[in-house]
Copies of this chain bind each other. A is one copy, B any other.
C-alpha cells in the first residue's frame, strides 16, 4: 500500500471536535504549554487515544521553520565510526531529533560544498561533520566539525587524546625503547593532528628519538608499506599507529621482513577494534569511548541549534590505554 492511499491520520481538528475544544487548545496540549484545566487535558487525552492521533511533523516543521533533523557527514572512504554514529543517533532521538547520514564523496572542497549546500537547504537544523572539512562560519545552520575546537577551546572530547599518547610513549620508554616511529593517519583529521603534536612533544620532552612521522591514510596497506619501507639500520623498536588498522598493517609488514612482534618491534594501535584484540599478537591499543564522543557531539550540536550555551563535555577520560601482546621491551642493542 502506498502511503498516499493509506487512510489519513487524525488531525488536531478532529481531536478538538471529539474533545469538545478548539484546535488551538489541542495545539497547546501538544506543546505542553501549561495553563490548562485538568478536565480539559483529560478530555483531550482520551480523544488523542481514541483517534490514535499523532502530530504531523511535516506540518509542524513547516509552520515553526524548524525541521528537528540533524545531519551527520561522513567521508565514504574508510573509517566508519559506527559506535559513535549509533550513539549520536540514539542521543538525537532522545532529544526529539532525527539523524540523517550523509556520505560526502570527493575531495575536501567538494565536501565543503556539499556541507554548505545542505546547511543552506533548510532541510536540517544542524550538521555534524565527522569528515574533515573547512566550513565557513555564519551559514544558515550550525555546523560542527568533529575534533575541531570551538571558541572556548574545548574539543568534542578529543582533547584527552594527548595524554594517552604521552602515556604510551612513557610506558615504552620505561621498557627501554629509544627510537620511535609514528604512523600518523590523515592530517586532515583533527584527532590525528592532535596525536601527532603530542607524539612530537613527548618525544622531545623525554629526550627520545623519532625516526620519523608518516602521514598516511587509514588503511592497513599504508601501515604495511611504511614498515616495509624502513631501512634496516633505522633503529626503530616501537611503532605508534593512529589506529588499529594501520597497526595491523605495520605488524604484518614487520613479519614480512623477518622482524618479530613484539620481540624485535613493539606496536601500539588506537581504537580497540574487536578483531585486533583477538589477533596474534594481540594488539596494544587505546580504548576510546566512542559512545561518549557521539553523545557529546550531538549534545553540542543541539545546544548550538537552540542557541543555548554548550553543555559540559563528558569529563571522565575518554581514552584508556590497554596493554596486550604487541608490546615488549626492545631487543638488546649493543
* Chain A residues in the interface with B (C-beta under 8 A): 1-4, 6, 9, 54, 56-59, 61-62, 64-67, 74, 76, 80, 82-83, 85-86, 89-90, 93, 98-103, 105, 120-123, 125, 138-142, 219-220, 223-224, 244-245, 248-249, 251-252, 255, 273-280, 282, 305-307
How far apart are A8's CB and chain B's nearest CB, in angstroms? 8
- The listed residue (B56, B89, B90) touching A122 by CB distance below 8 A is B56
Of all A-B residue pairs in the complex, the 9 with the closest CB atoms, nearest first, are A80-B82, A252-B278, A220-B278, A6-B140, A58-B62, A275-B275, A248-B278, A101-B101, A86-B103
20 more CB-based (< 8 A) A-B contacts, given A54-B121, A248-B275, A279-B279: A1-B142, A2-B307, A3-B140, A4-B64, A4-B65, A6-B141, A9-B122, A57-B122, A58-B61, A58-B122, A59-B62, A74-B86, A80-B82, A89-B103, A220-B277, A223-B278, A249-B278, A275-B276, A275-B279, A279-B280
Question: How far apart sit A266 and B94, CA to CA, in the bound complex (Å)?
Answer: 46
Provide the residues of chain B in CB contact with A140, threshold 8 Å.
1, 3, 6
Provide the residues of chain B in CB contact with A121, threshold 8 Å.
54, 57
Nearest to A254 among chain B residues (CB) is B280
B101 near A138 (CB under 8 angstroms)?
no
Question: How far apart sit A54 and B249, CA to CA, in the bound complex (Å)?
Answer: 47
Provide the residues of chain B in CB contact with A306, threshold 8 Å.
2
Q: List 24 A-B contacts (CB under 8 A).
A: A2-B305, A2-B306, A3-B65, A3-B140, A3-B305, A57-B123, A58-B58, A58-B62, A80-B80, A89-B101, A93-B102, A99-B100, A99-B101, A101-B101, A224-B278, A245-B274, A248-B278, A249-B278, A251-B280, A252-B279, A252-B280, A275-B276, A279-B279, A280-B280
Question: How far apart sit A64 and B251, CA to CA, in the bound complex (Å)?
Answer: 57
